[in-house]
Amino acid sequence: MTRQMMRRPLAWFGAVVGGACLLLGALAAQAQERAQEREVGAESRTALTVTIYNRDLGLVRDIRRIDFEAGENVLALGDVSRLLRPETLALEGEGLSLLDQSFAFDLLSPQRILEKSLGETVWIVRSHPQTGEETEVEAELLSVAGGVVLRIGERIETGNASGSAAGGRIAFRGVPEGLRRAPALVARLESEQAGARDLAIQYLTGGLTWQADYRAEINAAEDRLDLTGLVTLTNASGAAYPDARVRLVAGEVNQAGVSPLQRGATAMMAEAMAPAPGMAARTAGDQHLYEVPRPVSLADRETKQVLLLESRGIPVEKEFRFEELVQAQGGPEEVGPVSAAVVFRFDNDAAAGGPGQPLPGGIVRVYQPGGTKDGGGGVDGGGTPVFTGEDRIGHTPEGEEVRLAIARAFDVTGRSRITAYERLSNKSYRTAQVITLANAKDEAVQVKVVGHLPPGWRMLEESQPHAAETANRIAWTLDVPAGGEAELTYRVQVTRP
């Protein structure tokens, strides 16, 4: 073999090795480039919308302006909810393709640093009791199960679970890989070209709730009320939502695999309503969606109230009501004496002077003028307002009646007694009752007695006519004189199907 012939294999081998080195270098550079992660926080946010449902559920849509590089980008999107549901995460952006995404919530804490440093070299930092001078001793971290176990030279030493050991504190080389100060969405995205563009982040989260609370102020004549509705927002999601567009959904939504969600006026009157700027309501599917008209900043672990509605001069009717005296379905022979329920009723109808908009379910607290004067004359020139009771209303559509049972009137009482019972067959019987109402007030009152009758009922006799509220619910209205009594008698036959 000639020398020239020997050089060719060596030249070829050198070229191969050189090419391989270049290829490995390029691959290493690409791998390093892929491994580089950029943090993208709230400072890049351009828009934020938070839709809150009634119980422990929110939908967050977060728009961020990000400078993308052509090709692969690895982003750690911070300032997100700690209670984010990863399976609901969606990322969208023009010219962007999602390669993979994850929710990283392995957070920095003393215990996690210890667990991540098992088998690593750490240092025990001791302070001199007199001089305060610190010294360091190298150790190997062997275990953190119920306490710290260290190998220091030839000895095994233990300490407590908080990281104190061997008469000092434990110091680490750095933050172990994978631990984060706060939760982050880690997304690997392919960008068609370099440049700034919007990335939309959307997800469902727990920790967000809202409820409606109402204040009803009734005038001294008890024929008008002023209704103020406030929305109470609560954020326990682990993230803040500054200057957010907030939307509220009134209505039940089902979550699979989650415990059931704790499912005509005159022109003068209309002018007196003076509605304040509140929330606009519209439908979203079978629920009502309320838009808060101004941005809301909601900090983590904060409860905040915003105005829902304000409606003044609503016509209201007061009613004394008994629903436990009629025993046509069987029951005790005698009932009472019991106090009448005090109920205020108004129509949620703008044409009748009411609010005229869907009312989310919530608690209505009622205030009425008290017996003492405040310097400003109180409500409607009466006494200082006092709290007289509260009731919870359900989601009330426009046009429906609102009933507020707020108290018991102890000076309006009733009692009932079964006077006859006759069984006609296995399916049929007749019964009769006498109901006596007493009024200890110094003025006459009107009282409504409500009966819930079984299917197949037929009225045989009654001392005064009833009105039907539903097919099987009837009501008698009686006038009871001041300091006097009124009596109602009836006889009914029931034939069960």
pLDDT tens by residue, 209-242: 999 999 999 999 999 999 999 999 999 999 999 9
- What pLDDT sits at residue 230? 94
Mean pLDDT to the nearest integer, 142-165: 75
> How does DSSP assign 149-194, residue by residue?
EEEETTEEEEE-TTSEETTEEEE-SSPPTT-BSS-EEEEEEEESSS
Tokens of 297: 């900043």
What fold is seen in the domain 317-350+396-495? Immunoglobulin-like (2.60.40)
Q: Give which of 408, 291, 397, 393 is closest to 350, Cα–Cα.
A: 397
Contact status, residue 477 vs residue 446, Cβ threshold 8 Å: yes
Contact status, residue 139 vs residue 150, Cβ threshold 8 Å: yes
- What pLDDT sits at residue 404? 96
**Chain position carrying tokens 């809202």:** 210
- 150-166 b/e (C-beta count within 10 Å ≥ 16 → b): beeeeeebebeeebebb
DSSP H or E stretch at residue 18: helix 3-35
**Pairwise pLDDT comparison (492 vs 164), residue with the higher score:** 492
Mean pLDDT to the nearest integer, 94-106: 82
- What pLDDT sits at residue 265? 27
For residue 293, whether the previous peptide bond is cis, meaning omega lies within 30 degrees of 0, is no
Dihedrals phi, psi of 54, to nearest 5 degrees = -65, -35
pLDDT at 274 over 60: no
Max CA-CA distance within the chain? 137
Whole-number Å distance between alpha carbons of 490 and 212: 42
**Chain position carrying tokens 């260290």:** 150
Helices (H) and strands (E) in the chain, counts: 3, 32
Most confident residue range from 39-43, 279-283, 318-322, 379-383: 318-322
Residue 263 makes CB contacts below 8 A (sequence gap 6+) with 252
Q: 332-358, pLDDT tens digit by residue?
A: 899 989 999 999 999 999 999 999 988
Q: Give which of 169, 286, 186, 296 is closest to 231, Cα–Cα.
A: 296
Q: Report CA-CA distances (Å) from 132 to 125, 126, 129, 352, 403.
A: 11, 9, 6, 80, 73
pLDDT at 275 over 50: no
Name the H helices within 161-313.
267-273
Size (the chain), residues: 497
CB atoms < 10 A from the CB of 231, how many?
A: 24
Domain boundaries, the chain: 38-107+180-205, 110-171, 209-243+265-279+292-315+361-394, 317-350+396-495
Contact status, residue 250 vs residue 288, Cβ threshold 8 Å: yes
- What pLDDT sits at residue 105? 61
Most confident residue range from 18-27, 174-183, 488-497: 488-497
Whole-number Å distance between alpha carbons of 472 and 488: 19
**Chain position carrying tokens 């692969």:** 72
Contact status, residue 81 vs residue 207, Cβ threshold 8 Å: yes
Contact status, residue 338 vs residue 415, Cβ threshold 8 Å: yes
Mean pLDDT to the nearest integer, 117-126: 81
Dihedrals phi, psi of 178, to nearest 5 degrees = 100, -15
Q: With bands split at pLDDT 50, 70 and 90, how would you rate the model's confidence at 141? A: confident
- What pLDDT sits at residue 283? 52
